[in-house]
Amino acid sequence: MRAKNDILREVNAAIEREPGVNRHRFPVKIDYADGVAILEGEVESVSAKKLALEHAAAVRGVRGVVDRLRVAPAARKGDGAVRDSICGFLLRASELTRCALRVYVKGRLETLRTVTGESSGTIDLSVDDGVITLDGSVISLSHKRVAGVLAWWTPGCRDVVNSLDVQPPEADTDAEVVDALRLVLEMDPLIPHADQITAACHDYVVTLEGTVTAEPERRQAEMDAWALFAVDRVINRIAVRA
């Protein structure tokens, strides 16, 4: 069995070497006990969060990772404001119009939308200290992924716990990830040239290619891919051409 200090040293070094994680501006506290690495603190983006967790899990001797990382929001907002924003996103999303929506407010579950006839599922939403939790069930992995990305788009969001069940169960595939990403890119108002972006996926690694006219659009497309449930890494080869 490897010594705790050796494992901690290796986890710290692996995350320190990752250019996508800025530990100087956003320190991450790392601990280790009984084969489990514990990461705690704030990071700058969902990509930094996923990269840090991936590097920690890859260290020999680490059998599991406890994720206590939160994403620093551009603007701090109270849970009520976060809840109102994510509810608005979910209610307006055309892909989710057949999903019933319920939200926890002060511990009580309130119904915001019911669905008559054919239903795409029920989403139960709660917000605690900026962490958005999605429970309930939906009919496809695309529904689950779209709801999760909308949560990450929400101003003030610090983390997303996407516990939506898919019923009936659906096998995940690279094609499903690409289909969900295409929906998200077309929904995103910050990506006016979504039709000029192509995506491929292999083992939850997404590769983006194509052209856009501005660097912010290029970065936003990458962030949308990172926000997808189960995506582990994003390779951004989108070119910027005026």
Q: Give the model confidence (pLDDT) of 8-23 as tens digits.
A: 999 999 999 999 999 9
Mean pLDDT across the chain, nearest whole number?
Answer: 97
- Domains of the chain are 4-71 (3.30.1340.30), 79-166 (no CATH), 174-240 (3.30.1340.30)
Distance CA 40, CA 130 (A): 15
**Which positions ≥6 away from 236 have C-beta within 8 Å?**
208, 218, 221, 222
Proportion of the chain above pLDDT 70, given as a percent: 100
Strands (E), 155-196: 159-162, 165-166
Nearest residue to 65 via CA among 80, 43, 50, 78: 50
d(CA 46, CA 29): 17
Write out pLDDT tens, residues 48-106: 999 999 999 999 999 999 999 999 999 999 999 999 999 999 999 999 999 999 999 99
pLDDT of residue 70: 98
Give the whole-angstrom CA distance, residue 37 versus residue 58.
11
Say if pTM beats, i.e. exceeds, 0.85: yes
